Amino acid sequence: MRTRHGLVLPSLVMLWFAPGLASPAFAEAPVRPTAETSVSDWPPNFSRNVQGTGLPGVDGGHIFLWNRPQGFDPASTLRVDRHVPEGSGEATHTYKALWALGSSGPHNAGYEWTITGELHNRALASTGAQNVAVNGTIFKEANGLGPVGPSWAGNFNCVDTTDEADPVASCIGVEVDVSAQSPTTDSNRQRVGLQISTGGVPGAHTGYGILMGNLTGSITDRGISFQGEGVYGIGIDAAAARFTGVPILLAPGQTIGLDGTRDGGFSRSFGFDGRDLVYGTGSGPVFRVSDAGHIEVASVRESQSRPPRSSREPCTAGDHAWDEAYEYRCVATDRWKRALLSDW
């Protein structure tokens, strides 16, 4: 069936629940229509305008599209083709190929999804198959005139305007749940919470794998946080990657907390203060190493003595050793000297 607004509905069954009807009505669409449907052929109680918006569409109740299992039609169950014509270039409004508008009331205790995609996948595994519940792809293409505008393959906004000082409900931009329903192990690493693949072709550069940024004055409490009582094998794994720079980059004055709690507290840290490499506790630095190699430490303990067997034992100037009777110092290549130790 082809609607007056260019929606092509292939071989399917369409169910609608119009206001005032006690039971759904059914209509079987022809397999390959050739003529456009006239206004009089619209289902009863259907409106061509989305209520309250004035935008062309279908309104009047629930609509359900079903691609029948018998005589399955491989074409899209619902496809919307919209091509914006050449215009003056002036900004007018956002063009929407498919727009779903919904709202929830303060006494609604249920869940509301504006758009839901669900796929029951029972297909055999294949290297060429992609069984996707929801897939959004945008092709950024040259126009031959100038720089192409920004593109988002997926754009999700969660804007908190409640002014609640300590909100009790989440405002989540993107939530990805991968639920393993059996306790079996996954040696192939196929259960992935979030996969980010960038580059496209060999030699192509992607600016950032993950980019996080705040407006001036705003604060993100956790850039990346691991929560819950579960056990993680490795927090951040860069072993299989090749970096042209460094895997982790810190600015002067930044540190790494070593014994953090769930609330973000810690008492031991390791970092660079702008001058020295520093290990410290809540009481302050306890170990420093300068760029010149100078070490500042509260105390030094050598757990193994390894004294030379002779003054010509192989060594490098500066090596040190000890035993119960002597302190040994390598003063030149393969040249040891010692000093006698005594009680007092």
Do 296 and 331 lie in one domain? The reply is: no
Do 269 and 294 lie in one domain? The reply is: yes
pLDDT, one tens digit per residue, over 263-296 is: 889 999 999 999 999 999 989 999 999 999 999 9
Q: Tell me the β-bridge partners of 267.
A: none
| CB distance 306 to 321 below 8 Å | yes
- Structural domain contains residue 279: yes
Do 338 and 320 lie in one domain? The reply is: yes
Length of the chain (residues): 344
Domain boundary residue, one of 41, 62, 84 = 84
- Structural domain contains residue 164: no
- pLDDT band of residue 69 (cuts 50, 70, 90) is low
Do 318 and 287 lie in one domain? The reply is: no
Do 295 and 335 lie in one domain? The reply is: no
CA distance 223 to 149: 28
Do 3 and 74 lie in one domain? The reply is: yes
Do 42 and 80 lie in one domain? The reply is: yes
pLDDT of the residue at 255: 94
pLDDT, one tens digit per residue, over 110-160 is: 888 888 888 888 888 887 888 999 998 999 999 898 999 899 999 999 999
Do 286 and 317 lie in one domain? The reply is: no
Q: Residue 240 has which token pair? A: 């299989």
The residue type of 234 is I
CA distance 212 to 329: 52
Domain boundary residue, one of 267, 285, 300 = 300
pLDDT of the residue at 62: 59
Do 273 and 343 lie in one domain? The reply is: no
- Structural domain contains residue 104: no
DSSP letter string, 203-240: T---S-SS-----TT---S-SS---SS---S-SS--TT
- Structural domain contains residue 129: no
Q: What is the mean pLDDT of the chain?
A: 81
Q: What is the mean pLDDT of residues 227-249?
A: 89
The residue type of 43 is P
pLDDT of the residue at 63: 65
Segments forming the whole domain that contains residue 25 = 1-84
| CB distance 202 to 208 below 8 Å | no
- Structural domain contains residue 185: no
Do 12 and 71 lie in one domain? The reply is: yes
- Structural domain contains residue 42: yes
- Structural domain contains residue 281: yes
Do 293 and 310 lie in one domain? The reply is: no
CA distance 34 to 13: 18
Q: In the chain, how many domains are there? A: 3
The pTM (predicted TM-score) of the whole model is 0.67
Do 308 and 292 lie in one domain? The reply is: no
| Residue found by looking up tokens 């294949």 in the block | 126
Domain boundary residue, one of 84, 114, 139 = 84
- Structural domain contains residue 204: no
pLDDT, one tens digit per residue, over 187-218 is: 888 888 998 888 889 889 999 999 999 999 99
| CB distance 160 to 171 below 8 Å | yes
